[in-house]
Structure 1
Amino acid sequence: MTQVWVNGVAVKEIDALDRGLAYGDGLFATMRIVNGEVQFLSAHLARLAQGAQRLGFIWQVSESLTNQLQQLASSKSDGCVKLLLSRGVGGRGYAAPNPCLVNEVVSLSDLPQHYGLWQKEGISLALSDILLAKQPRLAGIKHLNRLEQVLIKSVEIPTGFDDWLVLDAEGCVIESSMANLFFIKGKTVFTPAISHSGVAGMMREQVIYALIDLGYNLDIKPINHNDLAQFEHCFITNSLLGLVDINHIDSLSYSKSSFSDTLRQILHLSL
Structure 2
Amino acid sequence: MTLFESGPGEVRVMTALRPPVDPPSAAVSLFPVVYQRPLAHIKHVGSFGQLYHGRLARDRGFDDALLTTADAEISETSIANIGFIDSGGEIVWPSAPSLYGITWQLLDEALTVAGINFRKQPVALNDVAGFAGAFVANSVGVVPVHRLGGLTSYDETASREIITLYEASAWDTIQS
How has the CA–CA distance of structure 1 residues 173 and 107 changed in structure 2, closer, same or farther, with 3 Å as cutoff?
same
Counterpart among 116, 119, 122 of residue 222 in structure 1: 122
Aligned with residue 189 of structure 1, among 80, 91, 96: 91
CA-to-aligned-CA distance 1:115-153 (integer Å, 9 cap, x gap):
44x2x321111222x4216x6xx2311122223213313
Match of 1:250 among 135, 141, 149: 149
Alpha-carbon distance change, 123 to 156 in structure 1, aligned in 2, over 3 angstroms: closer
Task: Determine if contact 1:184/1:234 at 8 Å carries over to the other structure.
Answer: yes
Q: Distance in 1 between matches of 2:30 and 2:16?
A: 29
Q: Percent identity?
A: 27
Q: What are the within-5 Å matches in structure 2 for residues 62-211 of structure 1?
A: 83-90=1-8, 100-112=9-21, 115-116=22-23, 118=24, 120-128=25-33, 130-132=34-36, 138-155=39-56, 157=58, 158-159=60-61, 161-185=62-86, 186-194=88-96, 197-211=97-111
Residue 268 (structure 1) shift: 5.9
Q: Is the 8 A contact 1:166 1:176 kept in 2?
A: yes
TM-score by length of 1: 0.56
Q: Which runs of 5+ in 2 are unaligned?
A: 172-176
SS in 2 for 1:199: coil
Deviation >4 Å, runs of 4+: none
Q: Displacement of 1:214 after TM fit? A: 0.9
Aligned to 1:223, what secondary structure does the other structure show? coil
Question: Structure 2 vs 1, CA of residues 198 and 264 (structure 1 numbering), >3 Å: closer, same or farther?
Answer: closer
Q: After superposition, give the CA deviation of every residue in 1:56-104 in whole Å (9 maximum; x if it has no partner).
A: xxxxxxxxxxxxxxxxxxxxxxxxxxx11113422xxxxxxxxx34212
- The AA in structure 2 aligned to 1:184 is I
Any gaps of 5 or more consecutive residues in structure 1? 1-82, 91-99
Equivalent residues in 2 for 1:226-237, closer than 5 Å: 226-237=126-137
* CA displacement, residues 245-264 of structure 1 (integer Å, 9 cap, x when unaligned): 11111231112224034223
Q: Distance in 2 between matches of 1:122 and 1:209?
A: 23
CA RMSD in angstroms comes to 2.1
Structure with max Cα Rg: 1
- Indicate if the aligned counterparts of 1:245 and 1:260 stay in contact, CA closer than 8 A: no
Q: Is the 8 A contact 2:69 2:75 kept in 1?
A: yes
